Amino acid sequence: MEGVSAEGKRVTRTFPVGTMGNDRPLATVTETWFSPDLKIYVLPKTSDPRTGESIVRLRNIERSEPDAALFRAPPDYQIVDDEHDHAEIKIP
């Protein structure tokens, strides 16, 4: 899925008549696709007649090393007070 290995699971839960004021059986379906390599769900999907359908899909998954510049503190970064049990950080 999206170029990564994923394991899927589908669960259907049916609520009998009268459980929530429903006049007929109510079925919800949850489908999840999990990537053990990434340790994240790549496609969780839920269908519930009370709330509708919800789909979250990871796309354009990039597995290369991110640019190190993304993790550098800005040049004007400074710790203002490190003498107490907390530090105040100001970024202009």
Q: pLDDT tens digits, residue range 23-73?
A: 899 999 999 999 999 999 999 999 999 999 999 999 998 889 999 999 998
Would you give the end-to-end CA distance of the chain in angstroms?
Answer: 42
Q: Where are the domains of the chain?
A: 1-59
The pLDDT of residue 81 is above 70: no
Query: Looking at the whole model, is its pTM more than 0.75?
Result: no
Distance from C-alpha of 59 to C-alpha of 4, rounded to nearest angstrom? 11
